[in-house]
Each structure stands twice: as C-alpha cells, then as structure tokens.
Amino acid sequence: MSTYTPADDRYDAAEFRRAGHSGLDLPAFSFGLWQKFGPGYSYDTRREIVLRAFDLGIAHFDNADRYGPPHRAAQEFFGQVLARDLKPYRDELILSTKAGNPIGKSPYLKGASRKSLLASLDHSLRDLGTDYVDIFYSHSPDESTPLEETVGALVSAVQQGKALYVGISNYQPDRAREIAGLLRRAGVPLLVHQPRYSIFDRRPERNGLLELAAAEGFGLIVYSPLAQGLLTDKYLADIPDGARARDSAFLSPEVIDDTYRQRAAALNKIAADRGQSLAQLALQWVLRRPEVTSALIGASSVAQLDHNVRALDFPPLTEAELAAIDEHGVHGTGLAL
C-alpha cells in the first residue's frame, strides 16, 4: 500500500509551455528515465526521485522500450510506481514511450516498420500498466522502411486509442519535414520532436531544426541538455570515482581533455557570476529558445533534481552573457559528433 501523498503546491511554481500549435502544455522540465532506472540501482531511491519530480510539478515522464538496462526495465519500474503511488493521478500525468531503436536480435525488435512499432507499443503498455500513453514516438529514423508505413503505424496508435499524440526523435530536418506533412494530411499532427541540444551540441541551431519546428508547428523536447554531465562542475578538475565517464557508453573519458576543461571552466565562471551553477546555466540556456517546449532531465538523487529545477529561478540571460556563452560553448566540445 502506498504511503505517498503528492504535494498540494506542486503546480504553484511549475512552469508549463505549449507544445507547438497543439492544445497541450508540457512542463518546462520533463523527467527522463534513460539511464540509472534499471534494477542495478536502488528501487527506493528511484521511486523517491520520481515522486519528488511529481511534487515539483514535473508531470511528464519520458520512457522508451530501450531504457534500462536491461531493455524495458525502466518502463517496468515506472509501471510499479504508477500502480503503487501515482495511479490516482494518472489524469495529471503525461507518459511517453518510444520504439524503433534495437532491443534484440530479431528483425522485429528494431526499426520503424508497422510490426516493430505497434508490437513494441503493446508491450510498453503492459510494462507501464496503463491503457494508453500520452505521446508515442518513432525513436529513430529507419531509412529501410517507407515513411508512409512509419506514419501509418503512428496514426494507428492514435486511432486505436493507445496514444493521444505522436512524436519523433533523432530525425534530421528533411525527414522531419516530410513526416510532419504526412502526419498532418493523415489528421494526426506531429506534436513534438526530441533532438539532442546543449551548449556543446548545437545541431538544432545549425541544421535548421529550430526554424522547422516553428514553421511546422511542433514543439521540441530536448535531451542531454547537460551533455552527459560535461556541462556540470563534475569534470572541471578530474574524473571522480563513480562518474558516468568511467562506465558509460555515451561518454568517453578521452573527451575530458584540457580543451574541454578550459571551456567548461569559462562557462562555470559565467554561471558563478550569475549566482548559479554551470548545470543551471546550461538548462536555462536551452530553455531560452521559444521553440523548446521542454528540457529532459534525469537525476541520481533528489538533491540533484531539486538543484537542477531551480534553474528556472534565475533572471533571463542577457545579450552579453549569451555572447560570452557562445565564445566558450563551442559546438562539438567533448562530444563524438
């Protein structure tokens, strides 16, 4: 039996933003279960973080069939928390999941075919213990499958009542434009696109995705706004024990070099002069763009979650500060692009 009662003031200070031209508002921060939400981590700690996020007005929880490890473990965990604690508040939650990235050797456990997407969605609904998700994504483009088939699967998910909205993730602007048009003509507009975006990864600025989102009327939910921890003070001096760079497939210790540290230290100085941390500066920076509906954040502790959410408490970045960030926030720093 649950002992959880959500905070009465959970929406008092929470910031919500409209997703593109839709009628849906999303919290400025969404909570992602991409990493550290598998069984290798304490269940009680993971549960505490998720419930604290909801107490802070973070009503959107982002998942995927691939998240764990192992695959699907993050969804299974969230399904347990939903059943135990959050089920009475399901109408207040935005739950999203994705399919298409490989989760097994079978040809039906990857790609954006109708078979792969809809079978994975059914499995995800069982994992989560819910009849529908609010947003269902094609996780990655699959050039071996016609876009019309991928779109047809997304449309079917909505028509069958298994998803309320649809999204895409990691699509380049040309394919995003095409899929947005196909979805619009099918009567199921594209709600959101989920790209990677940070001070050190500016591809959405460079490839026209920001402008496309505004023109086509979909929102952006950006992931890795802290560049896998590179936009925190964690690596300014050394690589601490237990840090992600020591055991993650997404961050290599080789990228944490003198060039990275020089640039990160300069950004840290800008943040300190504003009275905030580098992480808070980096989160505020991605949210400065009107095309960005929400920034995906994770956390390994409640304290870390609380700290990052306070990024919304600081005054807007000035033109001079943005210029200084541009000088030191060089695209590609510390990242394998």
Angle subtended by helix axes 209-216 and 173-185, to nearest 10 = 10
For residue 222, count CB atoms less than 10 angstroms from its CB and return exposed for 0-12, middle for 13-18, buried for 19 or more: buried
Sequence-distant (6+) residues with CB within 8 A of 296 are: 29, 30, 31, 32, 34, 62, 194, 221, 222, 223, 224, 225
Q: What is the 3-state secondary structure (H, E, C) of 149-217?
A: HHHHHHHHHHHCCCEEEEEEECCCHHHHHHHHHHHHHCCCCEEEEECECECCECHHHHCCHHHHHHHHC
Predicted pLDDT of residue 255: 86
Predicted pLDDT of residue 74: 98
Catalogue all structural domains in the chain, each as residue range(s) with its CATH number: 16-194 (3.20.20.100)
- pLDDT tens, residue order, the chain (337 aa): 789 999 999 999 999 999 999 999 999 999 999 999 999 999 999 999 999 999 999 999 999 999 999 999 999 999 999 999 999 999 999 999 999 999 999 999 999 999 999 999 999 999 999 999 999 999 999 999 999 999 999 999 999 999 999 999 999 999 999 999 999 999 999 999 999 999 999 999 999 999 999 999 999 999 999 999 999 999 998 776 666 655 566 677 778 899 999 999 999 999 999 999 999 999 999 999 999 999 999 999 999 999 999 999 999 999 999 999 999 999 999 886 5
Predicted pLDDT of residue 213: 98
Question: Do 67 and 73 contact (CB within 8 A), yes or no?
Answer: yes
Tell me how far apart the alpha carbons of residues 247 and 255 are, in angstroms, rounded to a whole number: 14
What DSSP assignment string belongs to 225-262? TTGGGTTSSTTSS---TT-GGGT-TT--GGG-SHHHHH
What is the distance, to the nearest Å, from the Cα of residue 150 to the centroid of all Cα atoms in its chain? Answer: 21
Q: Output DSSP code: residue 64.
A: -
Tell me how far apart the alpha carbons of residues 44 and 173 are, in angstroms, rounded to a whole number: 40
Would you put residue 57 in left (φ > 0), alpha (ψ -120 to 50) or beta? left
Predicted pLDDT of residue 245: 56
